[in-house]
Structures are given as structure tokens and as C-alpha cells.
Amino acid sequence: MKRLTLSVLAMSLLAGWAHAETVTVYSSRNEQLIKPLFDAYTKETGVEVKVLTDKEGPLLARLQAEGSNTPADMLITVDAGNLWQASNMGLLKTFNSKVVNENIPAHLRDPRGQWTGLSVRARTMVYNPSLIKAEQLSTYEDLADPKFKGKLCLRTSKKVYNQSLVGMMIAQHGEAKTEQVVRGWVANLATDVFADDTKLIEAVAAGQCAVGIVNTYYLGRILDKLPADKREAYPAKLFWANQKTNGVHVNISGAGITRFAKNEAGALKLIEWLSSDKAQNLYADKDLEFPANPKIKADVIVSSWGPFKQNLINMAKAGELQGKAVQLMDRAGYK
Ligand code: FE
């Protein structure tokens, strides 16, 4: 009996040896993007990172259904609206980190301390220079002006990116003015709304629309596939919106610690590492987004668009006002 106990003990010790510390991450970011980051983390710290990848909706539903039994220590997803949702569903835990607070600007972090941005995604205009000049463009709001009739292209209002954009406009202008703007957009549409940003950019390049609103990394991906000397001639150009007013609408990809994390300390260390210079360099280069840590330079294609002024309203507003934004877009006939 004694021998058996001993050997069981020996076996569990051995098992403990084989399994160094692990952090389990639920991620809606694709594996290709985050795997190299986590590999670098494992190499540096010896900590193993297990990842389960799925779309936002199913991931949040899974976290909720698993409750205190969840293996997840950390959630990574895109859009402040989704992170706000996770927080509001009680799926995240408050954390306070000096490292994160120093690395990531306040408007990209949850005021309640349940999530932080790790990369910045800018939603701005692309235009076709043979149909419209940059000097004719200024703000998102101005795209509602009748001078753009038949010239504007938009992605569907069902996409959270547009819900966040309109939510931030509500935060800035209130509902009445925002609704006027959205109605103006709808009246100016060149064609039906698009299912994704890439198709929209291609439509701008093809001259189907003169101007549209997209996340910049979609243009980055198109340019990245072209030989360097062909990029300049690509017929969809980026324009930084609202530079003389409140700045470009930005959103984030970000992370939080799950409410029932078994390895809370490990999750926090990983989040801190992801906000660090080294990880920020890797992260931004991979997805052609902007580093959330302002000390770090973006990829060459991304940097070629020049610096821009960001809208500094806290990201949490995008989540808070998402419901109102959806209703407003519906009222305004934005499909
Ligand atoms: Fe996207």
C-alpha cells in the first residue's frame, strides 16, 4: 500500500515536471497571427500558452456556459464592443497593472480595468483619386453632404466595426445629429452595402464608388500582396478623416483575464508582455495594425500612410452605445 502511494506521488511529481506553467487563452484572433507571439513568449519564459480559437460569439457563449469550470485564463478578441460585451456578461476579472498602464494609453483601456487594447485599428476613408481629390474629403460627417450623392460605399451596419463607429459618433454629437449623418450616408450610397471591407476597397479601386469607410489593415493586406513598386499606383488611396476636428475613429484588439482564471497571475504576466516593446513590434507587423503602445513604430506599409490624430474618446463608449447605434442605423435605413 505504502509503495503504491509512493509511486503515485512519484508519478504526479513527474507529471508536474513535464507540464511547466500553462496559460490557456480563448482567442478570436486567428492562429497565424498570435501563434508566433505566443511561441516567442514560451521561448522567453518557458510558460506554455494553450490557445482555443473561434469566432467572438461562440467564444463568449462558451465562456459563459463553462462558468467556473472554464480552462480559459485569458480572452483575446477584436473590437472594444466585444470586450465591453464580455465584461458586461461578467466573464472578465478586474486587473490593475502598472506595466500595462504605462504601455497603453488610457483611452484604449477599460475604465473599469477589465480589458486593455493591444493593437489599434483605424477606421477611415479610402478614395479613388481619378474620381475625387483628397482636398474634397474632410470628415465622416461631411460624407452625408449631397455633394457625395452616388459616390459613397459602406460596409453593412451588421458589422460591429460600423456599430462602434456610429456609437462613437453618438458619444460625440448625440443621437439626433448622428442620425442625420447616417441618413445622409444612406442617401449618398453608390450601391448596396458590402459584406466586407476588402470588397469595398476593390469597388473603390474599380471606380464603382469614389469613397468609402474601412479599417486600414484591409488596404494594408491588398498592398502587401503587390510588388513594392506597384503599391503607389494602386487606385484606392487612404485618407485620414477628421484631422482638423476630433480625429480618426480607432478601435482595438485587446485582452482581459477571465473571471474564473485558474492562472490569474500567469494571464496578467502574458498581458503585460503583450503590451511590451518586443511583443508590440511582432503583433503590429503581423496584422498591419497600429501598435497600441505609442513608442513602437508600425510596419513600413502602415507607416507610409503617415501619422494621424486619433479620436481620444474612451473605447468603452463604443460598447456602451452599441445598442443605440444599432437602433439608430436601423431607423436611418442603413442595412
Ligand atoms: Fe477585420
Same domain? For 100 and 146 the reply is no
What is the rounded average pLDDT of the residues 32-43?
A: 94
Tell me the CA–centroid distance for residue 14 and ligand 1, in Å.
44
Same domain? For 46 and 101 the reply is yes
Q: How many domains does the chain have?
A: 2
What is the rounded average pLDDT of the residues 62-70?
A: 98
Tell me the CA–centroid distance for residue 254 and ligand 1, in Å.
13
The predicted-structure confidence for 121-138, as pLDDT tens digits, reads as follows: 999 999 999 999 999 999
Give the CATH number, domain containing residue 321.
3.40.190.10
**String of DSSP letters for 23-57:** EEEEESS-HHHHHHHHHHHHHHH--EEEEEE--HH
pLDDT score at 285? 80
* DSSP helix/strand/coil, 68: helix
Tell me the CA–centroid distance for residue 115 and ligand 1, in Å.
19
Tell me the CA–centroid distance for residue 262 and ligand 1, in Å.
30
Same domain? For 162 and 183 the reply is yes
Tell me the CA–centroid distance for residue 219 and ligand 1, in Å.
11
Tell me the CA–centroid distance for residue 251 and ligand 1, in Å.
11
pLDDT score at 158? 97
Above 70 in pLDDT, residue 94? yes
Non-local (6+) Cβ contacts of 80 within 8 A are 117, 164, 251, 252, 254, 315, 316, 318, 319
Same domain? For 153 and 285 the reply is no
Tell me the CA–centroid distance for residue 197 and ligand 1, in Å.
8
Tell me the CA–centroid distance for residue 300 and ligand 1, in Å.
20
Phi then psi dihedrals of residue 97, to 5 deg: -130, 125
Tell me the CA–centroid distance for residue 302 and ligand 1, in Å.
15
pLDDT score at 110? 97
What is the rounded average pLDDT of the residues 149-163?
A: 97
Tell me the CA–centroid distance for residue 33 and ligand 1, in Å.
13
The predicted-structure confidence for 299-333, as pLDDT tens digits, reads as follows: 999 999 999 999 999 999 999 999 999 999 999 99
Treating both helix axes as pointing N-terminal to C-terminal, what angle do 31-45 and 277-287 enclose, rounded to 10 degrees?
160
Above 70 in pLDDT, residue 7? no
Tell me the CA–centroid distance for residue 211 and ligand 1, in Å.
19
Examine residue 306 and state whether it is found in any structural domain, yes or no: no
Tell me the CA–centroid distance for residue 183 and ligand 1, in Å.
25
Tell me the CA–centroid distance for residue 279 and ligand 1, in Å.
20
Same domain? For 42 and 69 the reply is yes
Above 90 in pLDDT, residue 10? no
The range of the structural domain enclosing residue 283 comes to 2-120+252-297
Tell me the CA–centroid distance for residue 70 and ligand 1, in Å.
27
Tell me the CA–centroid distance for residue 77 and ligand 1, in Å.
11
Above 70 in pLDDT, residue 17? no
Examine residue 267 and state whether it is found in any structural domain, yes or no: yes
Examine residue 305 and state whether it is found in any structural domain, yes or no: no
Question: Can you give the pTM of this predicted structure?
Answer: 0.90
CA distance 251 to 121: 5
Kindly state the DSSP code that residue 122 receives in the 8-state scheme: E
CA distance 84 to 86: 5
Strand ranges, E, within 48-194:
48-53, 74-78, 92-93, 116-127, 152-153
Q: Which of 93, 110, 88, 92 is nearest to 101 (CA)?
A: 110
Examine residue 25 and state whether it is found in any structural domain, yes or no: yes
Same domain? For 188 and 222 the reply is yes
Tell me the CA–centroid distance for residue 225 and ligand 1, in Å.
17
Same domain? For 326 and 188 the reply is yes
Tell me the CA–centroid distance for residue 69 and ligand 1, in Å.
31
CA distance 46 to 273: 13
The predicted-structure confidence for 171-214, as pLDDT tens digits, reads as follows: 999 999 999 999 999 999 999 999 999 999 999 999 999 999 99
pLDDT score at 15? 47
CA distance 72 to 267: 9
Same domain? For 288 and 190 the reply is no
pLDDT band at 286 (very low <50, low <70, confident <90, very high): confident
Same domain? For 188 and 322 the reply is yes
Examine residue 288 and state whether it is found in any structural domain, yes or no: yes
Average pLDDT, the chain: 94
Same domain? For 320 and 183 the reply is yes
Same domain? For 213 and 233 the reply is yes
Above 80 in pLDDT, residue 334? yes
Q: Give how far Cα 271 sits from Cα of 95, 116, 118, 173, 216, Å.
A: 10, 9, 9, 34, 25
Examine residue 309 and state whether it is found in any structural domain, yes or no: no
For residue 126, the one-letter residue type is V
Same domain? For 110 and 143 the reply is no
Above 70 in pLDDT, residue 13? no
Which percentage of the chain shows pLDDT scores above 70? 94
pLDDT score at 172? 96
The predicted-structure confidence for 214-229, as pLDDT tens digits, reads as follows: 999 999 999 999 999 9
CA distance 185 to 305: 25
Examine residue 304 and state whether it is found in any structural domain, yes or no: no
Examine residue 302 and state whether it is found in any structural domain, yes or no: no
